[in-house]
Amino acid sequence: MTTKIALVIYFLTVFLGTSSSHSQDRSGNNINEVRVNSNKITFVFGTNIDGYLKWYNNNVNTGSLEYQWTANFNLGRESYNAGFSIFKHPGAQQKTGTMEELINDGQISIFKNQLINVEGVSQEIIALTGMKTLLRGLKIRSELIENALVVEILEKDLVNKFIQNKPDSVLFINKTPNTGFDTFSVKVHYQ
């Protein structure tokens, strides 16, 4: 029950928090992108992070989300979340390192959610039933290019479903210890 309450609070914070309909980050850089072709879906997250980072911070509770760069998109009645996240796990010792080391300690993953309609709830809020389902064994990869995290979904069935549903935009949800949650819409470019 506590997990479900935390999940609802998390999504209310995300969807009612900072939001805009552009593909710029807080500093105004046009470095966020979504590209789709018949072979892959590519999400480019501008991180604007130089130098060293800290994670598994001593002042952070176990289970807390510290960094996140994810793309959220709906395909019909299915909702997906793909990208990078790192949570402080039990017994984790504080670390300092590069963006590459942070990415290696976290996870690149795809989750699927079931959308439901809730009477009296705004259409902008996605209500979830139960826990998100981690889609295991899907073809997904990531790489760092300059100050951008590039996440590619190579799973043919999901790529085809994305092309068939053809969403106009994807919701990016970014979080760092310094910025909190930043949510914004990024236009999808079909190639």
Residues 69, 107 contacting (CB under 8 angstroms): no
Instruction: Say yes or no to pLDDT of 21 above 80.
Output: no
Confidence of residue 23 (pLDDT cuts 50, 70, 90): very low
Opening angle at CA 23, ends 21 and 27, nearest 5? 105
Locus of tokens 């980050």: 25
pLDDT at 118: 61
Residues 141, 154 contacting (CB under 8 angstroms): yes
Instruction: Say yes or no to pLDDT of 174 above 70.
Output: yes
pLDDT at 29: 52
Structure token pair of residue 131: 């826990």
pLDDT in tens, 129-159: 445 777 888 899 999 998 899 999 999 999 9
pLDDT in tens, 37-79: 999 999 999 987 878 999 999 999 999 999 999 999 999 888 9
Question: Which residue would you say has higher pLDDT here, 21 or 164?
Answer: 164
pTM comes to: 0.78
Q: Which residues pair with 44 in a beta bridge?
A: 33, 150
pLDDT at 121: 52
Q: Which residues pair with 86 in a beta bridge?
A: 67
Instruction: Say yes or no to pLDDT of 170 above 80.
Output: yes
pLDDT in tens, 80-132: 999 999 999 999 999 999 999 999 999 999 999 866 656 655 444 444 444 57
Query: What number of other Cβ atoms are within 10 A of residue 121's Cβ?
Result: 11
Confidence of residue 14 (pLDDT cuts 50, 70, 90): very low
Phi, psi of 32 (to 5 degrees): -105, 135
Which of 48-52, 174-178, 187-191 bottoms out in mean pLDDT, i.e. has the lowest?
A: 48-52
Question: Which residue would you say has higher pLDDT here, 151 or 15?
Answer: 151
Alpha carbons within 13 A on the beta-carbon side of 59: 2
Residues 100, 61 contacting (CB under 8 angstroms): no
